[in-house]
Amino acid sequence: MPRTDPNLPPRCMADDCQRPAHARGLCSSHYQAALRVIQQTELTWEVIAQSGMCRQQAKAGRGRCRFARRLVGLAQRLTGGAATTEANASNDSAAGTSSSCEAS
């Protein structure tokens, strides 16, 4: 049953789940379950979103949270800057994932 009070946080889109939504309209448990299936099969976030089982990815451009930026800075210092392009490439290629330290 959809929640009608806009002041309440959204609930997970999974059937019969009452936990708060974490990312893509899913609670942390259902998000992680979907991510495991995606990693093990050819299923994509886009297909799941088109089926109505999750929301589309949030708009791009929000960037990393401060904690993640500090981690990238640490990696750059430890590797002489080589980690930056690898971290950016892996983040860009994982376009369906949302950082757990960023609210959706």
Residue 15 neighbours by CB under 8 Å, 6+ apart: none
Q: Find the mean pLDDT for residues 93-97.
A: 43
Please determine, for residue 1, whether its predicted confidence score (pLDDT) is greater than 70: no
Q: pTM here? A: 0.53
pLDDT digits (tens, 9 = 90+) for 3-58: 566 777 789 999 899 999 988 899 999 999 999 999 999 888 889 988 888 888 76
Question: Measured between alpha carbons, how far is 5 from 7 in angstroms, rounded to an integer?
Answer: 5
Write down the pLDDT at residue 61.
56
Residue 25 in tokens = 């309209």
Q: Report CA torsion sign: 54, 57, 63, 64.
A: positive
